[in-house]
Amino acid sequence: MSITPLQFRFLPALLLCISTPTLAVPTCWSGNGHCYENITDDLITWQDAKIAAENLTFKGVRGHLATITSQAEQDFINTLTPPQDQEPPFGGTRGWIGGFQQTDGAPYEWVTGEAFIYTNWRVGEPRGDFANNYIDFNWELLDWNDTANFDPATDGFLVEYPIPEPSTYLMMAMGLAGLGFARRHKQLTKVTE
Ligand SMILES: [Ca+2]
Ligand SMILES: [Ca+2]
Ligand SMILES: [Ca+2]
């Protein structure tokens, strides 16, 4: 098969299409400056997903399983590209997020220690039985379910990178500048004493 001049013209675009998946980058939310990324990893347990998320970095910031602490954050997450469903059409598309409980009946917690106040449980969930102590997000129903550490319908996990907001950098810079001023002021005071 030979390549015609017309095909040749489109070759770079074609190659770009092929290489696009490797260029995937986390999607950032203006609401908190954090960036989010779905990782497709069929059958990974919640506990392994937690470790995997913490071993990923973006812009030098370590990730964690996503914590969904407001309706606004949930709404943003609902717009993300889901993990790939590994066993269609059974089981739906599901991914771990960072909510868990220590034992059946214990209060739910987020991996980051953020207050567990906002919830998006499916009606009738969490049933809180059979050591179903981990939250998976259903990317078709856009709601939460409590399930076991291993769940055959799991397709991956959602990572959140808590990139500091620009205002945090600004405050840090102002703090450092203030410290410098205080030092200079102290030195001046010494000289004039
Ligand atoms: Ca969060
Ligand atoms: Ca359940
Ligand atoms: Ca699935």
Could you report the per-residue pLDDT of 142-193, keeping only the tens digit for each?
999 999 999 999 999 999 999 998 766 666 666 666 666 556 555 554 544 4
Condensed to tens digits (0 to 9), the pLDDT of residues 106-152 reads: 999 999 999 999 999 999 999 988 899 999 999 999 999 999 999 99
Q: How far is the CA of 160 from the centre of ligand 1 (A)?
A: 7
List the chain domain ranges: 25-162, 165-193
Contact indicator for 61, 26 with CB cutoff of 8 Å: no
Burial of 48 (0-12, 13-18, 19+ CB in 10 A): middle
94 within 8 A of 102, measured Cβ to Cβ: no
- How many A from CA of 63 to the centre of ligand 1? 11
Q: For the domain 25-162, what is the CATH code?
A: 3.10.100.10
Question: What pTM did the predictor assign?
Answer: 0.77
Ligand 3 centre distance from Cα of residue 135 (Å): 15
Distance from the CA of 10 to the center of ligand 3, in angstroms? Answer: 36
Ligand approaching nearest to the C-alpha of 85: 3
| Pair 152, 85: CB distance under 8 Å | no
